[in-house]
Structure 1
Amino acid sequence: MKVLVFYTKRFAYKTAEQNLTDEELKVFYPDTAAIKHQDEHKDCITAFIQVEAEDEERDLKSREKKLANHLKWVARKNNTNDILLHSFAHLSASKASLQFTSRLFDATKKRLNNGDYNASQTPFGFFLDLDMEAPGFSMARVWGDL
């Protein structure tokens, strides 16, 4: 799993182009009306996450724990409790299935929320228009190969 984490003063997105079929999208969103097509987050950790095929060979719980611990560490270093998960399939040539990635994101989000963090995620199945304000200091950008 590859993770590129930014501390963002502001991170906003808007869905631009759907890249899954309507049937595939319903796997992740049985009620497609529940898809948040745009949102804005302030003073948060924004994690660009590439789940790799090798991650599927490992236990989901171990992957979720590793990811959550990494994100909590970065959040503490940046004095925030808000964490946004963003599936970003451009950090590695290796890609896990959408189903595994979705399950990993859901489990990680649940673990973070149970640990007094405010975790959310961008929608699967869409390319997004992004508007991001990220300050330039050492811990504002952290790369991880988990």
Structure 2
Amino acid sequence: MKVLVMYIKEFSYQPATKNLDLAEEVTGGAKFEEAILAFIQAEEKDEEKEVGSREKKLVNHLKWTARKNNTKRVILHSFAHLSDSKASVQFTQSLFDLAEQRLQNAGFETAQTPFGYFLDLKIDAPGFSLARIWADL
């Protein structure tokens, strides 16, 4: 699993193009402030392990990053451009749902960007140490 995490002052999206037929219909966007924005790509090798073990590793990384940036907000964004290898849609969606639930159980405010869409993004991210972290989990 590859993860690029950014601390954002402000982030917003609008659905642009649906690229997954099974995705639910989404017409509106959303806006967030003072949060961790996680660009996540689950890889084929992740499916060799139980989704729960991959989710736990992801959540631990996100919680650490959030603490370092003094926030309790995390946005999960599926971003299949960090590796040539891709996990199945079902595995990835399950990973995101489980991670979101674990984060909420730990007192975090969470959101997921619409799965199966290309999105128009606006990102305001400050440039300081630990504001951007890449990881191979």
Give the Å deviation of 1:112. Answer: 0.2
- 5 Å matches for 1:1-146? 1-21=1-21, 24-25=22-23, 29=24, 32=25, 35=26, 37-146=28-137
Q: In structure 2, give the amino acid aligned to 1:130.
A: L
Q: In structure 2, give the amino acid aligned to 1:8.
A: I
Give the Å deviation of 1:40. Answer: 0.4
Across the two proteins, how many residue pairs are aligned to each other? 137
Root-mean-square deviation over aligned CA pairs: 0.9
Moved over 3 A (4+): none
State the alpha-carbon separation in 1 of the partners of residues 110 and 116 from structure 2: 19
Give the Å deviation of 1:119. Answer: 1.3
Q: In structure 2, give the amino acid aligned to 1:9.
A: K
Q: In structure 2, give the amino acid aligned to 1:91.
A: L
Cα 1:116–1:36, aligned 2, differ >3 Å: closer, same or farther?
Answer: farther
Consecutive unaligned residues of structure 2, counting only runs of 5 or more, are none
Matched residues, percent identical?
57
The 3-state SS of whatever aligns with 2:130 is helix
Contact 1:13 1:128 (8 Å CA) reproduced: yes
Name the TM-score, length of structure 1 as normaliser.
0.91
Name the TM-score, length of structure 2 as normaliser.
0.97
Q: In structure 1, give the amino acid aligned to 2:20.
A: L
Q: In structure 2, give the amino acid aligned to 1:14.
A: Q
